């Protein structure tokens, strides 16, 4: 009888240990994230570099280089008209701006938010005549997406700060 009692205790102990091992093995361990570290300062620098390239292209009437700052699936959302979808269509809109005698364009990045996948920039822009007088000025919000190793404009929406003509 004593042997039977010891065997039962031993069996209970073994079952308890095995149960604990199974419970521990089945617990989810924290998964290590394998994402690259994200540097917001570097991201903002990348956006400012792209805005510089875009501004230079606009001021040189280079519609191809300006449009190449947009992703292939970008949307260009101007005020008072439907959105232009796709880089191939955006190039025509930019070219039409330039053909109409576009004034000097400047762009200033105010703030950038986001992560590895998408960024949003708040910008201020100005059009000036040859004497440097402001013809129009406003703001924009641009969603940026990485394409071909560079941040490119994915959604570009802007509006003027000037009152509408009556």
pLDDT for the residue 6:
62
C-alpha to C-alpha distance for 124 and 29, rounded to whole angstroms: 47
DSSP structure class, residue 128? E
Q: 109 near 48, Cβ under 8 Å?
A: yes
Residue pLDDT tens, the chain, 166 long: 555 556 666 556 556 666 556 565 666 555 445 456 899 999 999 999 999 999 999 999 999 999 999 999 999 999 999 999 999 999 999 999 999 888 999 999 999 999 999 999 999 999 999 899 999 999 999 999 999 999 999 999 999 999 887 7
Handedness of CA 106, 39, 141, 78 (dihedral sign): positive
Q: CATH for 40-160?
A: 3.10.450.50
What's the pTM value of the predicted model, to 2 decimals?
0.76
> Where does residue 110 rank: exposed (0-12), middle (13-18), buried (19+ CB within 10 A)?
exposed
Please tell me the distance from the alpha carbon of residue 158 to that of residue 37, in angstroms, as a whole number: 31
* pLDDT at 7 (0 to 100): 60
């Amino acid at each position: 009888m004593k042997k039977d009692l010891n065997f039962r205790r031993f069996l209970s102990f073994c079952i308890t240990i095995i149960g604990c091992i199974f419970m521990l093995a089945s617990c989810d361990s924290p998964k290590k994230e394998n994402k690259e570290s994200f540097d917001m300062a570097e991201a903002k620098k990348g956006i400012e570099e792209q805005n510089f390239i875009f501004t230079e292209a606009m001021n040189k009437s280079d519609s191809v280089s300006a449009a190449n700052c947009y992703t292939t699936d970008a949307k260009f959302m101007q005020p008072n008209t439907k959105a232009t979808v796709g880089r191939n269509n955006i190039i025509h809109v930019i070219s039409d701006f330039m053909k109409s005698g576009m004034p000097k364009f400047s762009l200033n990045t105010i703030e950038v938010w986001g992560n590895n996948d998408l960024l949003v920039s708040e910008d201020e822009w100005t059009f000036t005549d040859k004497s440097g007088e402001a013809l129009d000025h406003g703001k924009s919000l641009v969603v940026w997406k990485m394409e071909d190793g560079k941040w490119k404009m994915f959604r570009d929406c802007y509006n003027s700060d000037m009152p509408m003509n009556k």
